[in-house]
Amino acid sequence: MAMKKITRRWFLNSFSIILLMLCAITVIAGFSVKSFYYSAARQFIESRAQVISAQVVKYASDSATDYTAAASALVQNFSEKSKMELMALDDEGNVTLTSGGFAVMQKLSMPDFEEARTSENGVGYFQGMIDGEKVMAMTYLNPAGDDTLYAFRYMISMTKIDAQVFLIDTVIGVIAVCVLLLVIWSSSYFLNSIVTPVGEIGKTAQKIAGGDFESRLKKKNDDEIGSLCDAINNMAGELAATEKMKNDFISSVSHELRTPLTAIKGWSETITDSPGDTEITEKGMRVITSETDRLSQMVEELLD
């Protein structure tokens, strides 16, 4: 019962707190990893967009350059096409060019394009599902103000990023479980080092309370529990010595009392058997009186 109570108290007070802390750390770490990767993806898009915008402005300001051809080539020869898709949009949101080189015939859902058209800085952002695929997209209006190349849209598939985030979250979860198992193992070892000796102390104390003063505890460690074992063993030794002293005292008193009582009883019987012998009666009464005085003195000494 003591083991159950101590274990239950440890579980409620310590283990539950550790479990909650590990869960909180795991959740926070998971969100932090996701936020880091998503922020990195957005920064990657923004850095590429700044480069493209600078190139477009340069082409538009250079009268010797065929702006339309140069800007189109910039989209078609986009250096990061293996990582993201670059689209050129007209002022109606129709795709006119893609870095992949394929033609887009249908109208795409582009919340970021609509946001860019209404925002003050001409930038729109979208993260969500498009045609069953999770993507991150950003639209930048063309700073050169061309209706054909009205805006540039950058889109990244989040499939690989989410897979990487899931892998890292799994590793974090495994580490958290390992830490939890280590805590359980170390705590169980610590609890057993306390609960087992306490149980033995309780059993031995019950034996001593029942009169078995020869019971002793085995001291295993030189700690507080070891000191308690020494104290209980010393107590048992003192109780055993006191018990022996009591028995010796009772034996001695019994012997001292038996002698005068025997004399009193013997002379009483003698007087009874000799009713007409005055000399024996007087002698017997003197002996009885003497032994009675002796008994009274012994009782007074015991009381003192």
| CATH number of the domain that residue 73 is part of | 3.30.450.20
Most confident of 7-21, 158-172, 202-216: 158-172
132 dihedral zone (left: phi>0; alpha: psi -120 to 50; beta): left
Q: Which CATH number belongs to the domain containing residue 258 in this structure?
A: 1.10.287.130
End-to-end CA gap in the chain: 48
Using a pLDDT cut of 90, give the percent of the chain over it.
24
Q: What share of the chain is helix, strand, coil (3-state, %, to 5)?
A: 65, 10, 20
Nearest-angstrom CA–CA distance, 105 and 122: 25
Q: Are 143 and 238 in a shared domain?
A: no
Computed over every residue of the chain, the mean pLDDT equals 83
- 255-289 residue pLDDT tens: 777 777 887 888 788 888 777 777 787 787 888 88
Structure tokens at 29: 């770490």
- 122-144 residue pLDDT tens: 899 999 988 888 999 999 998 87
| Residue reference for tokens 């910039």 | 74
- 104-127 residue pLDDT tens: 656 677 899 999 988 888 899 999
Least confident of 96-105, 231-240, 265-274: 96-105
Domain containing 271: what range? Answer: 224-303
* Residue-level pLDDT at 1: 46
Q: Are 125 and 231 in a shared domain?
A: no
- 33-55 residue pLDDT tens: 999 999 999 999 999 999 888 88
User: How many structural domains are present in the chain?
Assistant: 2
Last residue of some domain: 136, 158, 180? 158
Question: Is 94 a domain residue?
Answer: yes
| Residue reference for tokens 């002996």 | 287
CB-based contacts of 210, cutoff 8 Å, min separation 6? none
